[in-house]
Amino acid sequence: MAKQNQTLGEFIIENQGEFKYSSGELSRLINSIRLAAKVVNHEVNKAGLVDILGAAGDTNIQGEDQQKLDVYANEAFIKTLTNREIVCGIASEEEDDFITIQGRNKKNDNKYVVLIDPLDGSSNIDVNVSVGTIFSVYRRVTPEGTPVTLEDFLQPGNRQVAAGYIVYGTSTMIVYTTGHGVNGFTLNPAIGTYYLSHPNMTFPENGSIYSVNEGNYVHFPQGIKNYIKYCQKEEEDRPYTSRYIGSLVSDFHRNMIKGGIYIYPNTSKNPEGKLRLLYECNPMAFLAEQANGKASDGFTRILDIQPKELHQRVPFICGSKRMVEKAEEFMRDA
């Protein structure tokens, strides 16, 4: 049972029994993510004081300009997870291919693979807007003791054993689930400890915030255009408030607390969608469902989509259940 002001370490130990198949590995994995998050948080908070702002001069596999902090965060999480020999493989949004991890005995005995977006919304760093990290954990499907393969990473989201995000904002928080609800822990920077600050987080059944980049309105599918008009219509409980930060972690976090919907649809420019199924949509969808919310591509439950490639993109609609269902209704009727 979640207890206010309990430390993250205490919470992990107390709830180890909920981790199916695990004999401590998943607990150590979450602890490793906690450690890497503190390292990245330290660098994020130094932005503007040291040379970590701006573009790094490279592009990632998505063809996007990498920010210096993208590269730093990617290296920090990979190094922490690799050095502790907790996982047998890592896939990162910033890497072309997955990484196989061998232990000191040159075997691949660990059970879990991690997929990660090391620094979501990093283009906002230069203007001091909140950014985040998103992570997803699966139990491998290939035999233990063998190198991981692509099959271990291309699992539908309904097979996740853990997922979460870290938001680096006015305070730094880790929010995660292992399939038994969602809990949020806030970092006390004075002593470097995370405390349970948001136990049993849930989306309100309905909300009054819609989060979408309306600058792309002309390129949206007709169903999304119709839903946005519905959100803006003067009615008893509307118009809704438009709030869009441009950082998935920040928009999702606000909407979970206050009630709302996040929409990143496919467009005429990006017909497959823009967000990545494995690094962004699946972990956020798992969190949403564990918090009484819903996540969809407009027609299909996100967690039921069978991935076909490591950097696959999909449309994404996520948030308060009734709001997502209404958006799906407009998509079906368009």
User: Does the annotation list 274 as a binding residue?
Assistant: yes
Three-state DSSP class for 105? coil
Contact 291, 258 (CB under 8 A): no
Q: Is 68 annotated as ligand-binding?
A: no
Q: What are phi and psi of 86, to 5 degrees?
A: -105, -30
| Paired residues of 59 in beta bridges | 65
Is 130 annotated to bind a ligand? Reply is no
> What phi, psi does 161 have (nearest 5°)?
-100, -15
Handedness of CA 103, 106, 108, 113 (dihedral sign): positive
> The tokens of 308 are what?
């076909």
User: Could you tell me the two tokens for 296?
Assistant: 């969809």
Which structure tokens are listed for 116?
């990660």
Tell me if 243 sits within 8 A of 211, measured CB to CB.
yes
Residue 93, annotated as binding a ligand:
yes
Sequence letter at residue 157: G
Chain centroid to Cα 208, Å, comes to 22
User: Is 158 assigned to a binding site?
Assistant: no
| 65 marked among binding-site residues | no
Distance of CA 297 to the CA centre of its chain: 16
**Is 297 annotated to bind ligand?**
no
> Is 213 a known ligand-binding residue?
yes
CA 296 to chain centre: 15
Is 244 annotated in a binding site? The answer is yes
280 is in an annotated binding site: yes
Annotated binding residue at 117? yes
Q: Which residues are annotated as a binding site for Mg(2+)?
A: 93, 117, 119-120, 280
Binding residues for substrate: 120-123, 213, 244, 274
Binding residues: 93, 117, 119-123, 213, 244, 274, 280
